[in-house]
Amino acid sequence: MYINLANKLTLTRIILVPVFLFFLLTKIKYGIYIAVTIFVVAASTDGLDGYIARSRNQITKFGKLIDPLADKLLISAALIALVEMGKISTWIAVIIIGREFAITGLRVIAASEGKVISASPLGKIKTISQIIAIVSILLNNFPFSLINFPFGTIAMGIAVTFTVLSGIDYFYRNINLIEIKRE
């Protein structure tokens, strides 16, 4: 099986998740900075792999399946680690990860009917806001901590808001896929 460049980038994102967690959760000198760098590199492959796949007309079924899973794995790992580190409340991780499971379920239903649910503009904003919030919190709100401005907290609030709104949007736009039977 031939794996194109876009799919290689997606697989790289998955491979970087345990590397990110290793540097984040071990007491290695400068580990947090290495972890943040790995997280940013991994997160940046998300937009890049999609761009490459579209521009080279190399969109594959494998890519459609694995790309959103890779994104969810990276974000979920970061959120669970932030909870473990005591940097965010559990409810934040539960809302964000729960939404990801719900949308994945919706995509599975769509796929079973031969349909693909593409990322929406709100979904893309959600992802970017989550990445910004996670990086800010990982860096202890630097540089905003110098002026005592709670950027990380505000950014995470915005990320949770876009997470919920984009989840509602996905279900609203695809309500026809959900069969509700009355007994």
pLDDT in tens, 143-170: 776 787 888 899 999 999 999 999 999 9
> What domain range includes position 98?
5-177
Residue 139 placed within a domain = yes
CATH code, domain carrying 24: 1.20.120.1760
pTM above 0.75, yes or no: yes
Highest mean pLDDT among 36-40, 53-57, 99-103, 147-151: 36-40
Query: Would you tell me how many other CB atoms lie within 10 Å of the CB of residue 36?
Result: 19
Number of domains in the chain: 1
pLDDT-derived band at 22 (thresholds 50, 70, 90) equals very high
Residue 182 placed within a domain = no
CB 43 within 8 A of CB 74: yes
Quote the pLDDT of residue 87.
Answer: 94
Four-CA torsion 136, 21, 91, 125, nearest 10 degrees: 50
